[in-house]
């Protein structure tokens, strides 16, 4: 099992962006130094807490300060952009990264983003599918493109000057394009099956109950079969909120305390999802009433925490529930205590993962 990270991120909205952006930057650099294999960054426009507004810009900032880690968009929310712009910017970042780039895509889940772009009442799934298809056609085809859909049109026919390069969008560095990944945030996600059929790989969200994470694998298998390939657990990524400390009491207080960053994260997410009618993500039983949910129990159920030995045991127990998978994505949280947060990442890579992999062997 490899170790990567996924950060949305979510910070207290009163913290200034220059401070939290630098914190996320430092987390990624530390992850690279420790040997994390990959890292993903969320993208949100209208949220003071989730304040990375462009995952591509953030990755570009990191490329010269990291050496080995693969960096991915988590995700580019396609309905919020013109596909031609995405095709060009992703190709540019892919060349800058020279193989260290992963292209995560989605329709976008933040409703205030959908509203500000005028997409709140539009079929964002249809926009997503058209957008990614147009992006792939640009990379596969040649200018002037002449591509038309229900939401976007693209051509450079009137203004092309092929002798000097005008009118052509560059193709990516990786052939035929960077690996494409999709986030799975729903139980029994149909998107996992559709993505797998197209050769794309899933990332299961860290705020899903384990029983719903387990529901993604059968759909992935079905999708791979439909696409004529064998489903490989090595290609399945699962994000999980984890905190490791040398002292059990410290771990419990930091990971579950009402003044801690993990509690803050799930309280923020709980508020958004419940008001958006998606409380089912936190339920262990579909028939459970919404008003029986509370942040304390959600944190207790969804955060792996403790000493090295305790975290190893909990990860192995989680894997027994969801099945075999290739990469555990350590969820990024606010560094309320910088020393504890960095120590957790160190312990996770240097002590927890060797023991987990020894047990798996």
Over 267-295, what HEC string results?
HHHHHHHHHCCCHHHHCCCCCCCHHHCCH
**What average pLDDT score do residues 300-311 get?**
98
Q: Please report which confidence band the pLDDT of residue 278 belongs to, taking 50, 70 and 90 as the band edges.
A: confident
DSSP 117-136: TT-TTS-HHHHHHHHHHHHH
pLDDT tens digits, 20-66: 999 999 999 999 999 999 999 999 999 999 999 999 999 999 999 99
Topology adopted by domain 2-74+179-240+322-340: TIM Barrel (3.20.20)
pLDDT digits (tens, 9 = 90+) for 117-145: 999 999 999 999 999 999 999 999 999 99
pLDDT of residue 44: 97
Angle at 270 between CA 15 and CA 294, to 5 degrees: 120
Q: What is the pLDDT of residue 80?
A: 97
Alpha carbon of residue 264 to chain centroid: 19
* pLDDT tier at 286, thresholds 50, 70, 90: confident
Average pLDDT over residues 160-169: 97
Region of 98 on the Ramachandran plot (φ > 0 left; ψ -120 to 50 alpha; else beta): left
- State the average pLDDT over residues 232-236: 97
Please check the confidence at residue 277 and state whether its pLDDT lies above 90: no
Average pLDDT rounded to a whole number, residues 340-344 = 98
Q: Would you kindly state where each structural domain of the chain is located, as residue ranges?
A: 2-74+179-240+322-340
Distances (CA, A) of 194 to 59, 129, 186, 206: 27, 11, 14, 21
Q: Could you tell me the pTM of the whole model?
A: 0.97
Contact residues for 128 (Cβ-Cβ < 8 A; gap 6+): 78, 79, 105, 106, 107
**CA-angle at 101, arms to 99 and 104, nearest 5°:** 145
Tokens of 31: 């992850």
List, for residues 142-161, the tens digit of each pLDDT value. 999 999 999 999 999 999 99
The pLDDT, as a whole number, for residue 261 is 98
At 71, which helix (H) or strand (E)? strand 70-73
* pLDDT at residue number 39: 98
- pLDDT for 276 equals 86
- The pLDDT > 90 percentage for the chain reads 96
Positive or negative: CA dihedral 335, 234, 353, 263: positive
In whole numbers, what is the pLDDT of the chain averaged over residues? 97
């Amino acid at each position: 099992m490899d170790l990567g990270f996924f950060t949305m991120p979510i910070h207290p909205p009163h913290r200034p962006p220059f401070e939290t952006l630098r914190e996320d930057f430092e987390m990624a650099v530390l992850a690279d130094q420790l040997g994390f294999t990959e890292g993903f960054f969320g993208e949100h426009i209208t949220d003071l807490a989730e304040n990375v507004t462009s995952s591509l810009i953030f990755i570009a900032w990191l490329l010269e300060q990291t050496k080995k880690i693969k960096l991915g968009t988590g995700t580019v929310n396609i309905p919020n952009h013109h596909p031609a712009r995405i095709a060009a910017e992703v190709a540019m970042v892919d060349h800058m990264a020279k193989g260290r780039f992963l292209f995560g895509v989605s329709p976008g889940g933040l409703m205030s983003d959908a509203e500000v772009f005028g997409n709140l009442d539009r079929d964002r799934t249809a926009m997503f599918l058209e957008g990614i298809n147009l992006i792939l056609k640009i990379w596969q085809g040649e200018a002037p493109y002449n591509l038309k859909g229900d939401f976007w049109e693209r051509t450079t026919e009137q203004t092309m000057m092929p002798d000097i390069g005008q009118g052509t969008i560059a193709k990516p560095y990786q052939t035929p394009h960077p690996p494409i990944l999709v986030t799975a945030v729903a139980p029994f996600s149909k998107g996992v099956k559709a993505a797998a059929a197209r050769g794309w790989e899933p990332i299961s969200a860290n705020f899903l109950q384990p029983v719903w994470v387990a529901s993604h694998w059968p759909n992935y298998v079905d999708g791979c079969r439909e696409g004529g390939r064998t489903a490989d657990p090595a290609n399945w990524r699962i994000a999980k909120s984890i905190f490791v400390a040398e002292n059990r009491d410290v771990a419990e207080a930091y990971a579950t305390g009402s003044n801690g960053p993990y509690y803050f994260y799930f309280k923020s997410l709980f508020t958004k999802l419940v008001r958006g009618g998606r409380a089912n993500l936190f339920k262990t039983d579909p028939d459970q009433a919404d008003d029986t949910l509370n942040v304390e129990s959600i944190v207790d159920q969804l955060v792996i925490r403790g000493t090295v030995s305790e975290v190893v045991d909990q990860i192995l127990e989680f894997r027994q529930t969801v099945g075999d998978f290739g990469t555990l994505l350590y969820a990024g949280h606010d560094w309320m205590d910088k020393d504890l947060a960095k120590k957790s990442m160190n312990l996770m890579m240097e002590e927890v993962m060797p023991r987990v992999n020894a047990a798996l062997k």
